[in-house]
């Protein structure tokens, strides 16, 4: 194996996003960046920057500010009340079945009278070959572990090996966030549940937190998208090894794939360590 | 210069893992085509050897305390570097107002007045700052001396109150003349959206791009205007500058926007001719 010729298995890819060229299929996009395989899920099309962006110079800052405030109200209303449709994931996967591992983006905050229906949807997707679940704490305002207990139990009962991907969210004006302590409590309660912490590095403090609070949990894995290179490096060091670090891009929504790959290849690690992060670790976890 | 665009990095440190040991700062800048850079000190206690000492035990707030310096950060290396390369480097002072003594304030003033440092930076988490309360004094200092204040963004440690965009908004409401740069302004999409919500009408607030999500950077440029977004890398401490430059290059922005983001905005903020 030589530096620069890595096999790539992206642990966090979406079907759609602005970094995909208009004429390009997702498979072509993967080929262009040398990505062999990917965990794939759908896209929440309601969460688009078009809602807020596009400053009209003919308008005053006051008017533009009002437009942004309106966009926030609109966004809240556009968040799907039901589960997201994953037909796009199914169709893309059919075109190259050996290359995609389908994850279902699930909202566990469901009214009690709708629970049965929603879990039936999830079960049906497991039967269609979906092999993991993603939750987005920031969009669906999910409190961990409280809002995830039923989901985790359901997943464990269906198949203990199905991983749960948790989107990390720091505290914001509208949400208390998901802390590493919250995730540790979930891992304590479900010691066999394979948990993937998404965006595990961010701007350094979160990586330190992950190293401090989660390293004793062997069932927790750390995905690298949207993290600074030093955060990823510090995770490798604080976990005393790269075995639980999974390369992910969050492309083509938030990042282009290449930048996220570069964050791994630029690290002062051995070629073998990089290959583990870029391919082997997620491959082992899912196979 | 990259692709014909001059590059002025608004966020660099004097040392870090992504710089070669035998490489000077100007050589480091040259390697990545960077014309000028804002540099400051680094909290060297917040390094991997400190993290590795922990076994994830319960006494973690004491552990984090070991990151926190008992005095101000030493800026002598920064001052020397700026003195030797004034055409390439601009100094800014990383200051902890929570523990500042009268002597510290005098020292800060000296760096601004005598050594021509152009701004002040604060790091709320590593320096255990309560926001906005602990920032009032430094905000007043910055207004008095007409220098911008650079404010770190991040997720915070578990034992701290996380600093949110609305906490900074409380500061800006109180000090309307204060010019501020929000560092890592799109380090998550959630934070970026909070910035849009709170700061869209505040023309004195600028947004620096290091360790940010490209989609967030694009959103900031489109929503806030290209005159309020500053390219920064946080190199060589957090990353390699080419990665941070590429985040902007791939956004298909027009020439004027690229010139503004890569160079003109930070230059104008410091009152320099771009």
Among A107-111, B33-37, B160-164, B239-243, the minimum mean pLDDT is found in B160-164
Among A170-174, B78-82, B184-188, B260-264, the minimum mean pLDDT is found in A170-174
The percentage of chain B sitting over the pLDDT mark of 90, rounded to a whole number, equals 78
Burial A179-209 (b: 16+ CB within 10 A, else e): bbebbbebbeebeebbbbbbbbbbbbbbbbb
Q: CA-CA distance, B267 to B36, in Å (whole number)?
A: 10
For chain B, helix (H) and strand (E) counts, in that order, are 12, 8
> Does A262 contact B at CB distance below 8 Å?
yes
Question: How confident is the model at residue B108, as a pLDDT?
Answer: 98
Interface predicted TM-score (ipTM): 0.90
**Residue B36 backbone phi and psi in degrees, to 5:** -140, 160
Question: How confident is the model at residue A138, as a pLDDT?
Answer: 79
Kindly state the tokens that stand for A159.
Answer: 């198949």
The answer to whether A195 and A160 have CB atoms below 8 angstroms apart is no
Whether A203 and B218 lie within 8 Å, measured CB to CB? no
Question: How confident is the model at residue A158, as a pLDDT?
Answer: 97
> Does B213 contact A at CB distance below 8 Å?
yes
Whether A175 and B153 lie within 8 Å, measured CB to CB? no
Q: CA-CA distance, B118 to B206, in Å (whole number)?
A: 15
Q: Is the pLDDT of residue A69 over 50?
A: yes
Q: CA-CA distance, A29 to B233, in Å (whole number)?
A: 27
Confidence of residue A267 (pLDDT cuts 50, 70, 90): very high
Average pLDDT over residues A71-82: 67
Question: How confident is the model at residue A171, as a pLDDT?
Answer: 75
Scan for tokens 């997201």, then name that residue.
A84
Residue of A139, A228, A261 to mutate for B, most B C-beta atoms under 10 A: A228
- Nearest by CB to A256, which of B17, B216, B250? B250
Residue of A144, A212, A251 to mutate for B, most B C-beta atoms under 10 A: A212
Q: Is the pLDDT of residue A51 over 90?
A: no
How long a stretch of residues is chain B? 274
Instruction: Please write the tens of the pLDDT for every residue from A120-148.
Output: 999 999 999 999 999 998 788 889 999 99
The answer to whether B246 and A259 have CB atoms below 8 angstroms apart is yes
Residue of A229, A250, A251 to mutate for B, most B C-beta atoms under 10 A: A229
Tell me the shortest Cα–Cα distance from B126 to chain A, in angstroms: 9
Q: CA-CA distance, B247 to A255, in Å (whole number)?
A: 8
Q: Is the pLDDT of residue A5 over 90?
A: no
Question: How confident is the model at residue B67, as a pLDDT?
Answer: 73
Average pLDDT over residues B226-255: 96
Kindly state the tokens that stand for B102.
Answer: 């009268």
Q: Which 49-88 residues of chain B touch chain A by CB within 8 A?
A: 51-52, 54, 56, 60, 63
Kindly state the tokens that stand for A30.
Answer: 């993967």
Q: CA-CA distance, B35 to B7, in Å (whole number)?
A: 5
**Residue B21 backbone phi and psi in degrees, to 5:** -55, -40
Average pLDDT over residues A59-86: 69
- For chain B, what is the mean pLDDT? 92
The answer to whether B27 and B249 have CB atoms below 8 angstroms apart is no
Among A68-82, A252-266, B120-134, the minimum mean pLDDT is found in A68-82
- For chain A, what is the mean pLDDT? 89
Local structure of B181: helix, strand or coil = strand
Question: How confident is the model at residue B19, as a pLDDT?
Answer: 95
Question: How confident is the model at residue B48, as a pLDDT?
Answer: 61
B234: alpha, beta or left? (left if phi > 0; alpha if psi -120 to 50): left
Question: How confident is the model at residue A208, as a pLDDT?
Answer: 84
Q: Is the pLDDT of residue A65 over 80?
A: no
Q: Is the pLDDT of residue B212 over 90?
A: yes
> Does B245 contact A at CB distance below 8 Å?
no
Q: Which 42-101 residues of chain A touch chain B by CB within 8 A?
A: 47, 49, 52-55, 61-62, 64-65, 68-69, 72
Confidence of residue A71 (pLDDT cuts 50, 70, 90): low
Confidence of residue B211 (pLDDT cuts 50, 70, 90): very high
Question: How confident is the model at residue B154, as a pLDDT?
Answer: 85
Q: Is the pLDDT of residue A239 over 60?
A: yes
> Does A182 contact B at CB distance below 8 Å?
no
Q: CA-CA distance, B158 to A171, in Å (whole number)?
A: 11
- Nearest by CB to A181, which of B16, B51, B158? B158
The nearest alpha carbon in chain B to A175 belongs to B190
Question: How confident is the model at residue B164, as a pLDDT?
Answer: 85
Q: CA-CA distance, B144 to B115, in Å (whole number)?
A: 17
Question: How confident is the model at residue B101, as a pLDDT?
Answer: 96
Average pLDDT over residues A266-278: 97
The nearest alpha carbon in chain B to A267 belongs to B18
Q: CA-CA distance, B172 to A220, in Å (whole number)?
A: 40
Whether A49 and B158 lie within 8 Å, measured CB to CB? no
Per the model's pLDDT, the better-predicted residue between A32 and A171 turns out to be A32
> Does A137 contact B at CB distance below 8 Å?
no
Question: How confident is the model at residue B180, as a pLDDT?
Answer: 97
What's B99's DSSP letter?
G
Per the model's pLDDT, the better-predicted residue between B245 and B50 turns out to be B245
Q: Which 104-133 residues of chain A touch chain B by CB within 8 A?
A: none
Confidence of residue B44 (pLDDT cuts 50, 70, 90): confident
Question: How confident is the model at residue A235, as a pLDDT?
Answer: 92
Question: How confident is the model at residue A176, as a pLDDT?
Answer: 75
What's B235's DSSP letter?
B
> Does A203 contact B at CB distance below 8 Å?
yes
Q: Is the pLDDT of residue A1 over 50?
A: no
Confidence of residue A2 (pLDDT cuts 50, 70, 90): very low
Per the model's pLDDT, the better-predicted residue between A155 and A168 turns out to be A155
Question: How confident is the model at residue A72, as a pLDDT?
Answer: 64
Per the model's pLDDT, the better-predicted residue between B68 and B231 turns out to be B231
Burial category of B143 from C-beta neighbours within 10 Å (exposed 0-12, middle 13-18, buried 19 and up)? middle
Composition of chain A by helix, strand, coil, percent to 5? 45, 15, 45
Alpha-carbon dihedral B115, B117, B122, B126, rounded to 10 degrees: -50
């Amino acid at each position: 194996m030589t530096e620069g010729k890595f096999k790539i298995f992206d642990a966090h890819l979406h079907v759609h996003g602005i970094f995909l060229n208009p004429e390009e299929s997702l498979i072509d996009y993967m080929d262009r960046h040398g990505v062999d395989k990917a965990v794939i899920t759908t896209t929440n099309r309601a969460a688009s920057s078009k809602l807020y962006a596009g400053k009209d110079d003919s308008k005053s800052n006051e008017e533009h500010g009002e437009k942004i405030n309106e966009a926030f109200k609109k966004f809240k209303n556009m968040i799907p009340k039901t589960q997201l449709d994953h037909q796009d994931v199914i169709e893309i996967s059919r075109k190259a079945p050996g290359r995609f591992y389908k994850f279902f983006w699930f909202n566990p905050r469901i009214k009690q009278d709708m629970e049965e229906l929603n879990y039936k949807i999830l079960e049906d997707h497991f039967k269609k070959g979906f092999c993991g679940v993603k939750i987005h704490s920031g969009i669906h305002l999910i409190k961990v572990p409280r809002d995830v207990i039923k989901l985790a139990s359901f997943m464990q009962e269906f198949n203990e090996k199905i991983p749960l991907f948790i989107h990390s969210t720091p505290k914001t004006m509208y949400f208390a966030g998901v802390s590493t302590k919250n995730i540790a409590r979930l891992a304590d309660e479900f010691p066999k549940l394979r948990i993937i912490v998404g965006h595990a590095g961010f701007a350094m403090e979160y990586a330190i937190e992950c190293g401090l609070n989660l390293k004793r949990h062997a069932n927790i894995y750390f995905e690298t998208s949207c993290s600074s290179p030093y955060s990823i490096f510090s995770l490798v060091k604080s976990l005393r090894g790269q075995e639980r670090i999974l390369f992910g891009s969050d492309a083509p929504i938030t990042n282009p794939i290449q930048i996220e790959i570069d964050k791994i290849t630029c690290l002062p690690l051995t070629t073998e360590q990089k290959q583990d992060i870029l391919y082997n670790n997620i491959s082992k976890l899912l196979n | 210069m990259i692709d014909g665009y001059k590059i002025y990095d608004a966020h660099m440190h004097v040392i870090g893992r992504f710089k070669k040991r035998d490489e000077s700062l100007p050589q480091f800048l040259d390697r990545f085509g960077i014309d000028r850079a804002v540099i400051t000190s680094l909290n060297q206690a917040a390094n991997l050897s400190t993290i590795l000492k922990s076994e994830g035990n319960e006494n973690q707030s004491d552990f984090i305390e070991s990151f926190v310096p008992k005095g101000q950060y030493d800026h002598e290396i920064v001052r020397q570097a700026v003195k030797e390369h004034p055409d390439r480097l601009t100094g800014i002072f990383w200051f902890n107002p929570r523990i500042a003594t009268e002597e510290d304030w005098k020292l800060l003033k000296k760096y601004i007045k005598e050594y021509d440092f152009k701004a002040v930076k604060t790091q709320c988490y590593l320096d255990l700052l309560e926001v906005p309360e602990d920032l009032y004094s430094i905000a007043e200092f910055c207004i008095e001396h007409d220098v911008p204040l650079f404010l770190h963004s991040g997720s915070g440690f578990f034992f701290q109150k996380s600093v949110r965009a609305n906490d900074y908004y409380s500061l800006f409401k109180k000090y309307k003349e204060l010019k501020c740069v929000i560092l890592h302004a799109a380090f998550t999409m959630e934070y970026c959206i909070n910035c849009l919500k709170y700061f869209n009408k505040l023309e004195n607030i600028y947004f620096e791009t290091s360790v940010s999500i490209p989609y967030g950077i694009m959103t900031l440029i489109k929503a806030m205007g290209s005159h309020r977004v500053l390219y920064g890398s946080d190199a060589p401490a957090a990353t390699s500058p080419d990665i941070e430059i590429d985040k902007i290059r791939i956004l298909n922005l027009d020439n004027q926007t690229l010139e503004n983001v890569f160079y003109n905005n930070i230059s104008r903020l410091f009152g320099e001719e771009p």
